[in-house]
Amino acid sequence: MISKAGSSPHLHDTRTVGVVMADVCIALVPGLLCYAWLFGPGVLLQCILAVSFALLFEFAVLRLRGRDPRPFLRDGSAVVTALLFAVSISPSAPWWVSLCGIAFAIIIAKHAFGGIGYNLFNPAMAGYVFVLVCFPVQMNTWPDLPAQGIGAYLGSIFPMAGGQLDMLSGATPLDELKTRLEMMEMVSEIKTASVYGYFGGAGWEWINALFLLGGIYMLARGVIKWHIPAAVLAGILIVSAAFYLYDAETYASPLFHLFSGGAMLCAFFIATDPVTASTTGRGRLVYGAMIGILIYLMRQWGAFPDGVAFAVLLANIFVPLIDLLTRPRAFGET
Amino acid sequence: MRELHDFPGGLLLEPHKEVTDQKMSILHPLPERMFLPLQQHIGQPAEPAVQVGDRVLKGQIIARSSGYVSVPVHASTSGKITDIGNYPVPHPTISEAPCIVLEPDGNDAWFDIKPTEEYDRTEPAKLQELIRDCGIVGLGGAGFPAHVKLMEGIENAVDTLIINGVECEPHITCDDRLIQEKASYVVSGARMIRHAVQARHCVIAVEDDMQLAYDALAELVDDDLELVMVPTRYPAGGEKQLIRTLTGKDVPSDGLPIHIGIVIHNVATAAAVYRAVTRGEPIVSRYVTVAGRVDNPVNLQVLIGTPVEDCLATCGYRHSEDNKVIIGGPMMGLRVTSPNMPVIKTTNCIIIEKNAPAYPEMPCIRCGDCADVCPAELLPQQLYWFAKSADYDQAREYRLADCIECGCCAYVCPSRIPLVHYYRHAKAQIGLEQQRSHEADQARQRYTRKIAREKEEAAGKTGKTGAGADRDQDTRAAKQAYVEEALARTRTKRRDRPGPARQTEDSG
């Protein structure tokens, strides 16, 4: 028997998992910078914190599992998980929120299931939900705009360092919408509030637009395929449009939903995680549409302002079934 | 103009063909020793027809075909048989196999070969026999005996005969050069095969980056043959892919091209048929591209059995540990494990490549890129899981057998999983399983036959006692008849007698 290494093909594409993950990171940069510009340096501090924790845990767990950590640290998957987690949590969250979230993401959601390639649930979202449930106060406290200085953020993230953020009471546009709709206000009234911008949440619309741009870059590079983003966005669009057309004063416009919260980040960066998504063409459409619809339903009637993380984790459960039911026909098969 | 269709998946690869496709081929000199494997084709291996020490002439049969799906092996030159035994062969799963070793005497003297006059008046079945006797197999790569495909064509209505000149793997230009240098052989061979299978249409297909070959053929074809250029994309030259491209039809998943009225042969096979018919020449040589990191990359006309080492030396290559030698194309070829490994009928290319540091095999991240490029529209990822977990029933269910081992999936895999290796291994295991169950079936049949035979024998014995019983029965019957006669006589006597005895008799 000829060895594995001697087996054909003898040519390979230069793209490896590491290259793919690096592309994902590049695609995140515009949205991330915009986010940091709007909300202040706390965003970048959260990224640095999360990436450091992620690499640390990844290294430690691989050592414990008796694997050579080098190729796995190089594949960049831990970095992507950390970045997605960091942009999801509040920039003012204290350091231990990040520590707990990343620990859950890497140790439980990723490695307890067998590491990269074997995890059933999106690690970043699992970590996010873990801290959301454990620390609701810290997770739901957002700094007000405009951006505040690094000193204030340092004080907020590392409470022992002194310094403090002003106005931690600020809510995200989705929060605001939800609370005030429950108070029987009209969408047109709510929209006059300062947290709303041109078509989405103030600031958030630009962050979403730039994540969309990053998504287009990944599509152009072939890092992701069109099915999942298209289905997620179509899911949000169609359901929100239906309700909006039914009653525009009780339900926000589709454009608002597409450009608020984590919609674009989810469609292009989170739902497209190949490990936890469906692998067949039709399956990806089903999976994406499921996430899009769930996001809307949860925003509208759920307990939390945004539904991205729960929508993704719920859809993850259905992936094996979707894959089984959407198996394509083989060449020449009738 | 024929409407072309698209096949699923596939890759656009760097062609690297410009290096050799315009260079005249070189006639490779006689090597010192040649290794002729008994099996250079799909099917049963040939059986040696010579002994160590025999002197043979070029074109003489040295191993006979051993069944319907089998072809003979001929001496590639005149010389002496020095050994018959196991030597390295180019094969994906076997490293050594029985070979006949031939030491050339330098005369290159031909055996007595005869041409067939006027092929178009010859019976198709006769042509088929001739093609088998000349050891012709599919020279495109798989090495399926050509006469079997012809026979299918003779027995079934053939709509289209396709002559495949689509050389889709990078580096390889041996068919391209063959067409450019021997276009008339290819065209005449195509006409001969067409006559043999009585095809309604005949198409010769080349890739659209083979302009010179196309021009050479265009000068020779008439209205009877159609010449088509197909878009360059790997694996456009695969049998099923080319059929789809040219006809829009799919070969059934577990069927053959003939099931949809198509027979397909390689251009080199057509040229070999031409030689066989017009001269009676068996396959003793072929075009081989030597490419990659050699001083003089070029096409060689190599005698079958010539060691790879000799071919490389002719192209000015000296081996270094930095390089690896590959037989066949970079996508489907095999790593050469011994310099003695010979060129066989299906060897189209020898490539020298730099030994890249091995990238570690990482876990599958389920990206699905493999499924996008699979030309057989399989799910390579699922097949990989099944192959890895030895779940061969599921692998079969997901049509592992339809995998053509083109390597597209492994090429794009970002985790660098040697997918084709897993599939080959699984296929081999399934083959073994089938062989075992076949053997078990045979054993069961033998057993039931044995039981039946024993029963028959046993029945034979009771048959004898039965005959005795008959005789006994006869005597018994005779005795009974005698008794009854006696009883009857007594009855009549009693009836004649008055009294209760008669009543008793009546009630009894």
Structure tokens at A124: 């970043």
In terms of Cβ atoms closer than 10 Å to its own Cβ (0-12, 13-18, 19+), residue B421 is buried
Identify whether residues A150 and A206 lie together within a single domain. Answer: no
Within a domain: residue A325? Answer: no
Q: Which residue has the tokens 């018959």?
A: B84
Give A4 to chain B, closest Cα distance, Å. 6
Q: Which of A189-203, B18-32, B53-67 has the lowest mean pLDDT?
A: A189-203
Identify whether residues A148 and A258 lie together within a single domain. Answer: no
The DSSP bridge partners found for residue B303 are: B285
For residue A112, the 8-state DSSP code is: G
Identify whether residues A276 and A167 lie together within a single domain. Answer: no
A&B contacts, CB < 8 Å: 150
Identify whether residues A161 and A225 lie together within a single domain. Answer: no
Give yes or no for residue B372 having a pLDDT over 60.
yes
Within a domain: residue A253? Answer: yes
Identify whether residues A166 and A202 lie together within a single domain. Answer: no
| pLDDT value of position A169 | 56
> Which of B366, B374, B378, B382 is most worth mutating to test chain A (most A CB atoms within 10 A of its CB)?
B366
The DSSP bridge partners found for residue B323 are: B354
Within a domain: residue A193? Answer: no
Within a domain: residue A295? Answer: yes
Residues of chain B in contact with residue A13, where contact means CB-CB under 8 angstroms, are 411-414
Domain count of the fold of chain A: 2
Give B127 to chain A, closest Cα distance, Å. 32
Q: Which residue has the tokens 């395929």?
A: A225
- pLDDT band per the 50, 70, 90 thresholds, residue B355: confident
- Phi, psi for A185 (deg, rounded to 5): -85, 160
Query: Using the beta-carbon criterion (under 8 Å), do A6 and B93 form an inter-chain contact?
Result: no
What is the DSSP annotation of A167-190? Answer: -TT---HHHHHHHHHHTT--HHHH
Centre a 10 Å sphere on the Cβ of residue A229 and count the other Cβ atoms it contains. 25
Sheet strands side by side (includes B47-48): B47-48, B61-64, B73-74
Residues of chain A in contact with residue B366, where contact means CB-CB under 8 angstroms, are 117, 274-275, 277, 279
Query: Using the beta-carbon criterion (under 8 Å), do B331 and A9 form an inter-chain contact?
Result: yes
Average of per-residue pLDDT across B5-28: 91
Query: Using the beta-carbon criterion (under 8 Å), do B253 and A115 form an inter-chain contact?
Result: no
Within a domain: residue A211? Answer: yes
Q: What mean pLDDT is reported for chain A? A: 87
Identify whether residues A125 and A34 lie together within a single domain. Answer: yes
Pairwise CA distance, residues B280 & B302, whole Å = 19
Centre a 10 Å sphere on the Cβ of residue B167 and count the other Cβ atoms it contains. 33
Reported as a single tens digit per residue, the pLDDT across B428-487 is 899 888 889 888 998 999 999 988 988 888 887 765 554 555 556 666 777 777 777 777
Q: Which of A171, A206, A227 is the last residue of a domain?
A: A171
Structure tokens at B319: 């081996």
Q: Which residue has the tokens 């310094």?
A: A163
Query: Using the beta-carbon criterion (under 8 Å), do A117 and B367 form an inter-chain contact?
Result: no
**Identity of the residue in B368, B405, B416 whose CB atom sits nearest the CB atom of A16:** B416
pTM: 0.84
The DSSP bridge partners found for residue B89 are: none
Identify whether residues A212 and A256 lie together within a single domain. Answer: yes
Query: Using the beta-carbon criterion (under 8 Å), do A279 and B379 form an inter-chain contact?
Result: yes
Q: Which of A51-65, A250-264, B129-143, B393-407 has the highest mean pLDDT?
A: A51-65
Q: Which residue of B has its CA nearest to A1?
A: B93
**Identity of the residue in A10, A16, A334 whose CB atom sits nearest the CB atom of B359:** A16
Reported as a single tens digit per residue, the pLDDT across A56-107 is 999 999 999 999 998 898 899 999 999 999 999 988 889 999 999 999 999 9
Within a domain: residue A187? Answer: no
- pLDDT band per the 50, 70, 90 thresholds, residue B499: very low
Identify whether residues A114 and A210 lie together within a single domain. Answer: no
Q: Which of A171, A189, A209 is the last residue of a domain?
A: A171
Reported as a single tens digit per residue, the pLDDT across B260-286 is 999 999 999 999 999 999 998 999 999
Residues of chain A in contact with residue B425, where contact means CB-CB under 8 angstroms, are 1
Pairwise CA distance, residues A278 & A272, whole Å = 9
A183–chain B Cβ distance below 8 A for any pair? no
Within a domain: residue A178? Answer: no
ipTM of the complex: 0.87
Spatial neighbors of B207 by CB under 8 A, at least 6 apart, are B165, B166, B167, B168, B229, B230, B231, B232, B236, B237
Identify whether residues A89 and A155 lie together within a single domain. Answer: yes
Within a domain: residue A44? Answer: yes
Structure tokens at A164: 């403090």
Domain membership of residue A313 as a residue range: 198-320
Average of per-residue pLDDT across A250-261: 88
Identify whether residues A19 and A163 lie together within a single domain. Answer: yes
Give B91 to chain A, closest Cα distance, Å. 9
Identify whether residues A116 and A240 lie together within a single domain. Answer: no
Reported as a single tens digit per residue, the pLDDT across A105-157 is 999 999 999 999 999 999 999 999 999 999 988 888 787 766 677 777 787 78
> Which of A3, A272, A331, A334 is most worth mutating to test chain B (most B CB atoms within 10 A of its CB)?
A331
Reported as a single tens digit per residue, the pLDDT across B375-427 is 988 889 989 999 999 999 989 888 899 999 999 999 999 999 999 999 999 99
| pLDDT value of position B496 | 57
Identify whether residues A167 and A19 lie together within a single domain. Answer: yes
Query: Using the beta-carbon criterion (under 8 Å), do B421 and A116 form an inter-chain contact?
Result: no
> Which of B242, B367, B396, B399 is most worth mutating to test chain A (most A CB atoms within 10 A of its CB)?
B367
